[in-house]
Amino acid sequence: MDKVKKKGPTTLETLKELISRHREFDIIDLFSDMHPADIADLIDELEEEDRLQLFSLLDVEKASDVILELSDSSREQIIEDLSNEKLTDIIEEMESDDKADIIAELSDDQAKAVLDAIEPEAVSYTHLRAHETVLEIVCRLLLVKKNIDAKAQITQQYYRLNNTQNT
């Protein structure tokens, strides 16, 4: 006789059971070793009212990775329901290109609040120069030339004035 193995509950079923029993610490424990994409898949499968609750259990670092993996509708709903402060904390953890993508999805009011709250990152002049386009290089060189020309004119005028005052 073939023995049929009894299949255990899926992660989604386990998660739904933990939600219904309000077992937040067990949910955090369940998420602790999961990849952000897997957490996002689980959140996407939940009812709307459970999504934000579960997302809010994530620490800021993991939340910044998970939010990028969510479906558009889940991400939109969660972003809409998050406080500007929490959203800012999450966005500050992201790489700059991901920050730009998420900020582009925000409402005007949210985007302004987040941008006002984000601490600007110090970037070296060398780093900026490394990413210049040809057009930016030409503009910079023209400005440098204009600045040199302006300094030369000021110097010439200074010497002319001094020479006329001394004579």
Which pTM value belongs to this model?
0.64
* CA atoms of 20 and 23, how far apart (whole Å): 8
Percent of the chain at pLDDT > 90 equals 24
Q: How many CB atoms lie within 10 A of CB 102?
A: 19
Among 70-74, 112-116, 124-128, the range of highest mean pLDDT: 70-74
Tokens of 161: 């004035």
DSSP tag of 121: P
Give the closest residue to 59 by CA, choosing from 27, 14, 105, 95: 27
